[in-house]
Amino acid sequence: MNWNVLYAEDDRVQSAIVLSLLQQDGFTVTHVENGKAALAALSGQSYDVILTDQYMPQMSGFELLSEVRKRELDIPLILMTSTQDMQLVFAAVRAGAADFISKDLNGQYLELIAPVLVRSCERHQLQARLRQHAARLEQEKNLCYKTLDAMEEGVIVINEDLCITYHNSYFSALFPSGTEGCLLGKRVAALIALFNRQVEREQTDGALLDEGAFCRWLKSGAGSWEMVVGTRILDVKKVEVAGTGFAVALADISQRKEAEQALIRAHQLTQSIIDHSPFSIVATDLNGIIVAVSPALERMLDYHKDELVQQRSVLMFHDEAELIRCAQTLSDELDRDIDPNFDMLVLPARNGEVRGQDWNYTRKDGTRVPVNVTVTTLRDHDGRLTGYLWVAYDVTAQRQAAERIQHVAHHDALTGLPNRTLLQDRLETALRRVRRTGRKMGVLVLDLDHFKRINDSLGHVVGDELLKTVATRLVVAVRDSDTVCRMGGDEFVVILPDVHLRQDVERICLKILESVARPVQVGLNTLTVTPSIGLSMAPDDGDNEADLLKHADIAMYRAKQSGRNGYSVFCQEMAQVNHDEMMIEQALHHAFHHRRLKLHYQPRVDVETRRVNGFEALIRWHDPVHGTIAPDRFIPMAETTGYILSLGAWALQQACRDIRTLREQHGVAFRVSVNVSPRQLEQPDFVDTVRNALQASGLPPQALELEITEGVLAAESGAVLTMLNALHDLGVVLAIDDFGTGYCSLAYLAQYPIDVIKIDRSFLDVGHTCCRAIVGAITSIAEELGLEVVAEGVETQDQIELVRDRGCRVVQGYYFYEALALEDLTPLLPNVSRDVARKLAMH
Ligand code: C2E
Ligand code: CA
Ligand code: CA
């Protein structure tokens, strides 16, 4: 080793010898001549060792030593001095000199210099390394302690005598404050006092070596944290280190214990909820295999859990047909094909939906129980799906109640058929199917022909019975999957989902026609009623409910127009006609507003005197675009829209005015007959309307006749009777129009304040003996009741004779006159003087 030596010596001879000796031995030597120069050299460079003589000018070797120490230079210093100076040598060693060399006179000490230097250097180097090592150890120890102190569990080390030689801060914190310092050196047993516990000495002290004993000891005391693991202290090679005792760790697991307890309590609670819950609960794995069931489920389905758990799939509770139906509905809803399997059942749950669904579960004995089932997912801590929970409850009672409510809300009370609301639903569903499957659907609108007549003449009870029979026949005529609805009145709708061809639907129409037309026995009456059917098909005639119904309706009207008792298939041309109807309706409004409607008057003639004694007012409409439009075309339409009220009021006023003028002009006490729609009679202020028309025109009431239809009387309504009485009290004349066409019985005539009967022209068929008899019967009864009789639609001489022979004097018909405009009447009527005329007009 090439040591670097700082050498201080003032004697030149000696220094020359020592220098050469040391250089020979491989030292690097810096020579200075006194202590001061040595200090100066030290501040410029570092040396391994200082070799100094004691006696030197300016600063001695000892003084140099003091300075080096003072400056805390970590360099060993070797002092050379004469043998007599032993006192000085001791002082130097005490003051920190690394070694000394006594100079003898024979120069033997020169031999010692090199070995002494080497020894000092090496020792110094070793010491430095040791110090470094110790510092590192200290650091590590501190780190260990810090780590142990940071631990959330108690750590102690105890020696063979069971005394504590180390503890971390967690451990000491378990004891009353202030005891921390006293813990070291304490026997473990003595700690019991500090814990203030009543534990027998032997139990703890003696048994401590036994692993877990301390734990047991702590357990027996207060506090809920406890556990100890005692091990012999091992070195890194897992070899027991002799004489070190044991390391003991104490972990406070009270929280964990508490959590465990809470978990147990929660589990017990859950179990008791499940056990006592009225809900039937099933847990399944991902494939539907049952893993747990609640007692309520066992009771509800009459199974023992051992028959189900790990044995069966939850699918076993389901009815296959119901699953298939559900799959179909879902397919329609989601617009994609859904299979009727387990996945279908858990689909909503997987999508995070929690919704109850109604099913019919199958009991062990095969019977069914209606249930509402909610499926939710079961997941583990990490949110992974592990299975499903099925919560079901018996909804027999609810379902019965709901079914009753549903039924009432969705069915017609009379026939029990689905009503308009349910029809909408069924149509929607059927249409979705059409869109999904690409197949066709038929919609039939069916209306009974002249049903109103039956209802009006035979009464509601008979009418209702007839409707019920028709409803039953319709249901029998179609398939189970078809829907028959009653829209109200005598109108029915039949939905035929899933049909291939129009011809198939037409065949069903024929079947219905044949079935409905069979005679029906209601009480003593044998009735025959025929239907008119309109048919539309989806998707050809419409892809929405409204269009399909509208088009079927249009087709039905066409069937009615073409003679009833038949069916008609919708086509676009019909829609056009319907459109025309709407156009006419608009045109009517326009015509009325612009005073284009006219009243014509058809004279009534006394067959004996051949004189005109009255007129029937009939509306005439000539439209510049549509031409002449017959009242039969627009009056029924105005009745449906309610527009007839305006038209009727106008006709009444106009007729009163016109006839008052005629009476004045001709001096004849003409009577005018005005047609009154049933809708007008329903208006409570109709009497006022009539009174106002009379007052405004100045026509006396007995000069006004109101024609009402038979149906109005047949309705047997108290309001109608009141109305007719009021009109009669006003002094106007009341006539029954078209008598004999409805189911009006002659008995009505006595009940109502009727003055005139107008025999319908259909009875003037001279070739028919039956007609003759009827005309005879009517006139003789009228005579008995003191009623006037007017024969309508007389076209031939034969007809005149027919009615005259049977006592009817007044006729109206083309044989004499058509309805004429007011100005065209004048030439036909007699002229009288103005004065006479005015007098007559007033009476
Ligand atoms: P209605 O009350 O039965 O009127 C008699 C109908 O028979 C009239 O048809 C008349 O022109 C027609 N007629 C008269 N004599 C003969 C004849 O010898 N042979 C034939 N074949 N027909 C004859 P119109 O004018 O077309 O009226 C049809 C229906 O329109 C009327 O039947 C009536 O119900 C209704 N109507 C007409 N004007 C009014 C009105 O102002 N108010 C109301 N509410 N209805 C009216
Ligand atoms: Ca009439
Ligand atoms: Ca008539």
pLDDT in tens, 321-341: 999 999 999 898 888 999 999
Instruction: In whole angstroms, give the CA distance from residue 81 to residue 90.
Output: 12
Cα of 812 vs centre of ligand 2, distance in Å, is 10
Structure tokens given for 390: 């099925």
- More confident of the two residues 727 and 180: 727
Instruction: In whole angstroms, give the CA distance from residue 417 to residue 414.
Output: 8
What pLDDT is recorded for position 229?
Answer: 44
Cα of 435 vs centre of ligand 1, distance in Å, is 49
Task: Name 123's Cβ contacts closer than 8 Å, sequence gap at least 6.
Answer: 76, 98
pLDDT in tens, 127-184: 999 999 999 989 988 888 888 888 887 888 877 777 888 888 887 777 666 666 677 8
What pLDDT is recorded for position 199?
Answer: 39
Cβ(392) – ligand 1 distance below 6 Å = no
Residue 219 has pLDDT above 70, yes or no: no
Q: Which atom of ligand 1 is nearest to the CA of 676?
A: 44
Cα of 618 vs centre of ligand 1, distance in Å, is 6
Question: Nearest-CA neighbor of 681 among 645, 656, 646?
Answer: 645
| For the chain, percent of residues with pLDDT exceeding 90 | 55
SS3 47: coil
What pLDDT is recorded for position 828?
Answer: 86
Task: Name 669's Cβ contacts closer than 8 Å, sequence gap at least 6.
Answer: 663, 703, 840, 841, 843
Cα of 721 vs centre of ligand 1, distance in Å, is 25
Per-residue pLDDT, averaged over 303-308, amounts to 93
Return the minimum-mean-pLDDT range out of 36-45, 47-56, 771-780, 783-792. 771-780
Task: Name 351's Cβ contacts closer than 8 Å, sequence gap at least 6.
Answer: none
Cα of 295 vs centre of ligand 1, distance in Å, is 80
Instruction: In whole angstroms, give the CA distance from residue 711 to residue 741.
Output: 10
Instruction: In whole angstroms, give the CA distance from residue 68 to residue 76.
Output: 9
User: Which ligand lies nearest to the CA atom of residue 818 in the structure?
Assistant: 1
- CB burial string 551-560: b at 16+ within 10 A, e below: bbbbbbbbbb
Cβ(795) – ligand 1 distance below 6 Å = yes
What pLDDT is recorded for position 156?
Answer: 81
Per DSSP, what are the bridge partners of residue 229?
249
Question: Nearest-CA neighbor of 52 among 30, 72, 25, 71?
Answer: 30
Residue nearest atom 22 of ligand 1, based on CA coordinates = 793
Given ligand 1 and candidates 618, 628, 676, which is best to mutate, with the most ligand atoms within 8 Å of its CB? 618
In this structure, are residues 553 and 572 in contact, taking their beta carbons and an 8 Å threshold? Answer: no
What pLDDT is recorded for position 8?
Answer: 95
Instruction: In whole angstroms, give the CA distance from residue 437 to residue 427.
Output: 15
Q: 34 φ, ψ to 5°? A: -160, 180
Residue nearest atom 32 of ligand 1, based on CA coordinates = 632
What pLDDT is recorded for position 301?
Answer: 94
Structure tokens given for 271: 């179990």
Q: Which atom of ligand 1 is nearest to the CA of 619?
A: 38
In this structure, are residues 92 and 79 in contact, taking their beta carbons and an 8 Å threshold? Answer: yes
Instruction: In whole angstroms, give the CA distance from residue 304 to residue 121.
Output: 94
What pLDDT is recorded for position 574?
Answer: 87
In this structure, are residues 491 and 447 in contact, taking their beta carbons and an 8 Å threshold? Answer: yes
- More confident of the two residues 315 and 277: 315
| For the chain, percent of residues with pLDDT exceeding 70 | 89
Cα of 602 vs centre of ligand 1, distance in Å, is 9
Unique residue bearing structure tokens 């049909």: 499
Residue nearest atom 34 of ligand 1, based on CA coordinates = 675
The neighbourhood of ligand 2, an ion, using CB within 5 A, equals 675, 707, 737
Instruction: In whole angstroms, give the CA distance from residue 508 to residue 495.
Output: 11
Instruction: In whole angstroms, give the CA distance from residue 133 to residue 141.
Output: 12
Residue 213 has pLDDT above 80, yes or no: no
What pLDDT is recorded for position 288?
Answer: 93
Residue 805 has a CB neighbour count (10 Å cut-off) of: 12
Structure tokens given for 738: 């078209």
What value, to the nearest 5°, has the Cα angle with vertex 356 and ends 405 and 358?
Answer: 55
Instruction: In whole angstroms, give the CA distance from residue 465 to residue 460.
Output: 8
pLDDT in tens, 474-520: 999 999 999 999 998 999 999 999 888 889 999 999 999 999 999 99
Cα of 737 vs centre of ligand 2, distance in Å, is 5
Give 819-833 as a DSSP string.
Answer: -EEHHHHGGGSPP--
With residue 584 as reference, give the H or E element that holds it.
helix 572-593
Unique residue bearing structure tokens 């000796």: 21
In this structure, are residues 376 and 352 in contact, taking their beta carbons and an 8 Å threshold? Answer: no
Residue 589 has pLDDT above 80, yes or no: yes
Alpha-carbon distances, residue 829 vs 496, 657, 661 (angstroms): 63, 18, 13
In this structure, are residues 494 and 471 in contact, taking their beta carbons and an 8 Å threshold? Answer: no
Cβ(648) – ligand 1 distance below 6 Å = yes
pLDDT band for position 29 (cuts 50, 70, 90): very high
Residue nearest atom 27 of ligand 1, based on CA coordinates = 631
With residue 805 as reference, give the H or E element that holds it.
helix 797-805
- More confident of the two residues 94 and 219: 94
pLDDT band for position 402 (cuts 50, 70, 90): confident
Per DSSP, what are the bridge partners of residue 163?
187
- Pairing relation of β-strands 525-527 and 531-538? unpaired
Unique residue bearing structure tokens 């219905």: 512
Alpha-carbon distances, residue 757 vs 28, 167, 781 (angstroms): 161, 127, 10
pLDDT band for position 669 (cuts 50, 70, 90): very high
Instruction: In whole angstroms, give the CA distance from residue 653 to residue 655.
Output: 6
Q: How many residues does the chain have?
A: 843
Q: 118 φ, ψ to 5°? A: -60, -45
- More confident of the two residues 13 and 749: 13
pLDDT in tens, 686-700: 999 999 999 999 999
Unique residue bearing structure tokens 């451990």: 171
Give 622-668 as a DSSP string.
Answer: EETTTEEE-HHHHHHHHHHHTTHHHHHHHHHHHHHHHHHHHHHHH--
Instruction: Please report, as a single letter, which amino acid is at residue 725.
Output: N
pLDDT band for position 833 (cuts 50, 70, 90): low
288: alpha, beta or left, given left = phi > 0 and alpha = psi -120 to 50? left
Cβ(793) – ligand 1 distance below 6 Å = yes
Cβ(675) – ligand 1 distance below 6 Å = yes
Q: 7 φ, ψ to 5°? A: -120, 120
Cα of 762 vs centre of ligand 1, distance in Å, is 13
Residue nearest atom 7 of ligand 1, based on CA coordinates = 793
What pLDDT is recorded for position 718?
Answer: 77
pLDDT in tens, 75-131: 999 999 876 778 888 899 899 899 999 888 788 888 889 999 999 999 999 999 999
pLDDT band for position 63 (cuts 50, 70, 90): very high
Per-residue pLDDT, averaged over 627-642, amounts to 88
Cβ(618) – ligand 1 distance below 6 Å = yes
SS3 300: helix
In this structure, are residues 810 and 788 in contact, taking their beta carbons and an 8 Å threshold? Answer: yes
Residue nearest atom 20 of ligand 1, based on CA coordinates = 793
Residue 445 has pLDDT above 60, yes or no: yes
Residue 221 has pLDDT above 70, yes or no: no
Cα of 736 vs centre of ligand 1, distance in Å, is 14
Half-sphere exposure of 63 (CA within 13 A, CB side): 13
Per DSSP, what are the bridge partners of residue 758?
790
- More confident of the two residues 70 and 267: 70
- Residue-averaged pLDDT of the chain: 87
Question: Nearest-CA neighbor of 679 among 640, 719, 650, 718?
Answer: 640
Structure tokens given for 381: 């801590």
In this structure, are residues 687 and 730 in contact, taking their beta carbons and an 8 Å threshold? Answer: yes
Distance of CA 32 to the CA centre of its chain: 104
User: Which ligand lies nearest to the CA atom of residue 631 in the structure?
Assistant: 1
What pLDDT is recorded for position 406?
Answer: 84
User: Which ligand lies nearest to the CA atom of residue 681 in the structure?
Assistant: 1
Q: Residue 56 burial by CB count (10 A; 0-12/13-18/19+): exposed, middle or buried?
A: buried
Helices 420-437 and 545-561 sit at what angle, rounded to 10 degrees?
110
